[in-house]
Amino acid sequence: MITKPKGTYDLLGKEAKKMQYINDVLTAICEKYNYEFIRTPVFESSEVFHRSVGNTSDIVTKETYDFKDRGDRDITLRPEGTAGVVRSYIENKLYGRDIQPVKLYYNEMMYRYERPQAGRLREFNQFGVEVLGCDDPFIDAEVISLAYNIFKLLGLTNIRVNINTLGDDESRSDYKKALVEYFSNYTNDMCEDCQNRLKKNPLRILDCKVDASKTWFKNAPKIDQYLNSDSAKRFSKLQEYLNLLDIEYVVNPSIVRGLDYYSHTVFEIEMLSKNFGSQNVLAAGGRYNNLVKMLGGPSTCGMGFAMGLERIMLALDEEEVKIPINDSIDVYIGYVNEEEKETALYLSQELRLNGFICETDYLNRSLKSQFKSADRFKSKYTIIVNSNDIKNYEVTLKDNKLKEEEKVKINDLVDYLDMHM
């Protein structure tokens, strides 16, 4: 038997319905916030990711699917959404649009060569938003609240928003210096990754999961002492806005995010449930005011987040959230002979196009087993087509709940069902 590649999954059955429900909620809320759907290619020139996500990030150093195509081009499968969206924003000159800022959302499969475990896959579905062309913390608050409200709407309660700031370039550079000075005293006790990070991007040490429990790690300098007044003011404004929106959050100085392009606001939304395992971050994001320029566009601010839909599915299971999945149909159409079959074919199209969920028999089975199917489908009504009724332009309609039958004219069927359902 040929099996699926490691770290991938087939989406089917009940899980597929759940995923569709999540997608419906995502699309509906984006419509209300007036974010615009964007789709970018599954693969891009490698430099899109190598230049933006940063050569020191885990994603680029360990996780990308890189290959040469048959034309000898360096190609990378999309590991995250932001870089491709920004590439497209620049290429399509969205910065020149009349209406600013540009508010976008995407919902795509991502690819990372990771060690697969619960909530960590090689092919996974991320939903995310990006707002380009606005530097006001108003947008930071809107973006964070959008992520938070998605979880609330889905029915998750046991979640927490963690926010932090990385400050502007000046604050961040002062802070990095302080971190290098401090961490240099502990290189002996550091994991190998952190020793590298110390040279390339000391901020990312704070994101380490290996060293996190050590005392020297916990006592590292915190960003708040290094923020210049502009950066500090902006961060407190954001908190004011979040308070106003009734978003519960904590300021968590250890949030720095894995990607290299962040500045100012960063945030993560985590699932608090103890049994949930270590893949407990459901959504993460922040402000990236340098990224558009890094990718060759005009200097433009950005703010966004991404959330993993597979982790949301696990979170919904963990909290035992009841998802409104429709598992019944409106009408089952039963028949026996060829003439009746033709009427069934015609009627099924007629009912479906008028908005009813309709099933029929495709395998020429006995009426008895068709009735069994109607039960299995939890059909509200069963139509029995028979040759005698057809002569009078009517069918027998059975209300499966009341167990009552009556004859209804074929021309009146839609109106009848509309009135009774």
Query: Residue numbers of the site for ligand ATP (CB under 6 A)?
Result: 80, 112, 114, 119-121, 124, 126, 258, 279, 281-284, 306-308, 310-311
CB 121 within 8 A of CB 8: yes
Can you list the alpha helix ranges (DSSP code H) found in 53-81?
58
Q: Which is nearer to ligand ATP, 30 or 271 (CB)?
A: 271
Minimum distance from CB of 208 to ligand ATP (Å)? 11
Name the nearest CA neighbour of 359 among 369, 367, 370: 370
Which residues does residue 111 pair with via DSSP β-bridges, in sequence order? 123
Q: Which is nearer to ligand ATP, 121 or 146 (CB)?
A: 121
Minimum distance from CB of 158 to ligand ATP (Å)? 16
Q: Which is nearer to ligand ATP, 106 or 226 (CB)?
A: 106
CA-CA distances (angstroms) from residue 4 to 14, 123, 176?
20, 11, 43
CA-CA distances (angstroms) from residue 141 to 234, 265, 279, 348?
11, 10, 25, 49
Q: Which is nearer to ligand ATP, 112 or 234 (CB)?
A: 112
Minimum distance from CB of 19 to ligand ATP (Å)? 13
Minimum distance from CB of 210 to ligand ATP (Å)? 13
Q: Which is nearer to ligand ATP, 227 or 307 (CB)?
A: 307
The first and second tokens of residue 248, run together, are 């519960």
Minimum distance from CB of 341 to ligand ATP (Å)? 47
Q: Which is nearer to ligand ATP, 249 or 356 (CB)?
A: 249
Which residues does residue 394 pair with via DSSP β-bridges, in sequence order? 409
Q: To which residue do tokens 């009841």 refer?
A: 322
Note if the bond before 101 is cis, omega within 30 degrees. Answer: yes
Taking each helix axis from N to C end, the angle separating 13-32 and 309-318, rounded to the nearest 10 degrees, works out to 110
Minimum distance from CB of 80 to ligand ATP (Å)? 5
